[in-house]
Amino acid sequence: MENILRTLYQERASLPSTLGVLLIEGTEHSDAITDTFDFILLIITDEENKNLFVKQYEAGNKKIGLHVVNKHQLKDWLMRGTNRKIFDWLFNGKIMFDRNDYLHSLIEELNDFPFHERKLRIGLEFAKLIRRYHDGRQFFEQKHYMDAFNHVTHSLHHLGRLALIEKGFHPEVTVWKQVKSIEPEIYKMYEELLYSEEPLNKRLELLFLVSDFFIHSKTELGASHILDTLREKQRWSMQEILDHHELKIYGIDIFIVLEYLVQKEFLQISIEESKSKIINHRYYSIKS
């Protein structure tokens, strides 16, 4: 099998654009990480023409996935936390080829978890947390308890991931195993939501009460990246926020987070008269 795998990546490893090759071996306990494949070959390049290229093979009774990803897409996954498997692949994969120690340096940087990157990852998780929590509460108040349950479950995932990043850990695929040992109080909330014998509406009601406290306690931390960026100037239009290179990564979640920060008095709204004199322009600024 080793020879078969080598034939799949050897030609690509000879290309000057190839930065590194990782081999991830699947086991019966890691199907979630390799999507049931026996082997994953991750090839990282600095080619600009394609973010992700995937081919799949079979050799005997073994399934092999070949994933070619450029370094910018990889960085985007790592920054946004949108591909949870990638952390497991980088930390647990076997390095088969490494041009100029690219992979060693990348993994070392991930282990160090630089402050700015951690701050941004916390901000992204906080934004998703606020979005899910807000929508869940709206459904709860409308007595759509199953929809509320779905959103609250997701909000707890984001709260758990935020707490892990705060402590310097990258959330893994098995995130609740991490949360249980590092943030047992959040794990307990999740456990109560799932396994309590109380009626669903009572479970949700209790969870909203407890979550309010946790979210309030995390607001200054969770919003620090957004607030620090907004301190760059006195006031911001919504379009200026959406266009800012540090803030556009939040996508549509930025809307609900900004309104939440206004509600919690971290931000304030200023109004400017428009040409029509009937409709006013609305701006955000740090509350003084």
Kindly report, residue by residue over 193-202, the tens digit of the pLDDT.
999 999 999 9
pLDDT band at 79 (very low <50, low <70, confident <90, very high): confident
Residues 6+ away with beta carbon under 8 Å from 73: 51, 52
Overall average pLDDT of the 73-89 stretch:
89
pLDDT given for residue 276 in this prediction: 78
pLDDT band at 250 (very low <50, low <70, confident <90, very high): very high
pLDDT given for residue 229 in this prediction: 96
pLDDT given for residue 218 in this prediction: 93
In the chain, the domains with their CATH numbers are 2-111 (3.30.460.10), 113-222 (1.20.120.330), 227-288 (1.10.10.10)
pLDDT band at 225 (very low <50, low <70, confident <90, very high): very high
DSSP letter string over the chain? -HHHHHHHHHHHHTSTTEEEEEEEE--TT-HHHHTT-SEEEEEEE--SS-SEEEEEEEETTEEEEEEEEEHHHHHHHHHHT--THHHHHHHHSEEEEEGGGHHHHHHHHHHH--HHHHHHHHHHHHHHHHHHHHHHHHHHHTT-HHHHHHHHHHHHHHHHHHHHHHTT----SSHHHHHHHH-HHHHHHHHHHHH--S-HHHHHHHHHHHHHHHHHHHHHHHTHHHHHHHTTSS-B-HHHHHH-TTTGGGTTHHHHHHHHHHHTTSEEEEEEE-TTSSSEEEEEEE--
Whether the pLDDT of residue 53 is over 80: the answer is: yes
Whether the pLDDT of residue 17 is over 80: the answer is: yes
Whether the pLDDT of residue 55 is over 90: the answer is: yes
pLDDT given for residue 60 in this prediction: 84
pLDDT band at 277 (very low <50, low <70, confident <90, very high): confident
pLDDT given for residue 33 in this prediction: 84
pLDDT band at 31 (very low <50, low <70, confident <90, very high): low
Whether the pLDDT of residue 30 is over 80: the answer is: no
pLDDT band at 29 (very low <50, low <70, confident <90, very high): low
Share of the chain above pLDDT 70, in %: 99
Whether the pLDDT of residue 133 is over 80: the answer is: yes
Query: What gap in Å lies between CA 53 and CA 35, rounded to an integer?
Result: 16
Whether the pLDDT of residue 274 is over 90: the answer is: no
pLDDT tens for each residue of 134-189: 999 999 999 999 999 999 999 999 999 999 999 999 888 789 999 999 999 999 99
pLDDT given for residue 125 in this prediction: 96
Mean pLDDT, the chain, as a whole number?
92
pLDDT given for residue 93 in this prediction: 93
Whether the pLDDT of residue 24 is over 90: the answer is: yes
Read off φ and ψ for residue 29, nearest 5 degrees: -95, -5
